[in-house]
C-alpha cells in the first residue's frame, strides 16, 4: 500500500515472506520515500525502510489509529 503524504513524501507498506531476515519474523516493510531537492529533504536517502514483525506492525497501526481518533475529536 502506497500512501502519499505530500509532493515529496510517500509511505509504503509491503509484505513479502522472501524479505524476511534469517531467524526473524520481520517480513512487513515500512518505507518512507522522499524526492525533491537535497536541501529541502528530511532524509539522507531517497528511501529509508525498516522490517517489522506482525506484532510490531499491529502496534504501529494501533498507535496511528489512536492518534487519528484523538485528532478527529479536536475542534477544527
pLDDT value of position 76: 84
The size of the chain, in residues, is 76
Q: Decide if 28 contacts 17 (C-beta within 8 A).
A: no
* 26, 27, 30, 34: CA torsion to nearest 10: 120
pLDDT per residue as tens digits for the range 4-59: 999 999 999 999 998 887 888 899 999 999 999 888 899 989 999 999 999 999 99
What is the rounded distance in angstroms from the CA atom of residue 5 to the CA atom of residue 76?
A: 20
Amino acid at each position: 500500500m502506497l500512501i502519499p503524504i505530500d509532493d515529496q513524501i510517500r509511505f509504503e507498506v509491503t509484505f513479502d515472506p522472501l524479505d524476511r531476515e534469517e531467524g526473524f519474523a520481520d517480513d512487513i516493510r515500512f518505507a518512507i520515500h522522499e524526492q525533491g531537492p537535497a536541501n529541502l529533504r528530511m532524509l539522507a536517502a531517497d528511501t529509508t525502510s525498516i522490517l517489522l514483525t506482525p506484532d510490531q506492525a499491529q502496534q504501529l497501526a494501533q498507535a496511528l489509529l489512536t492518534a487519528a481518533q484523538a485528532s478527529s475529536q479536536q475542534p477544527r
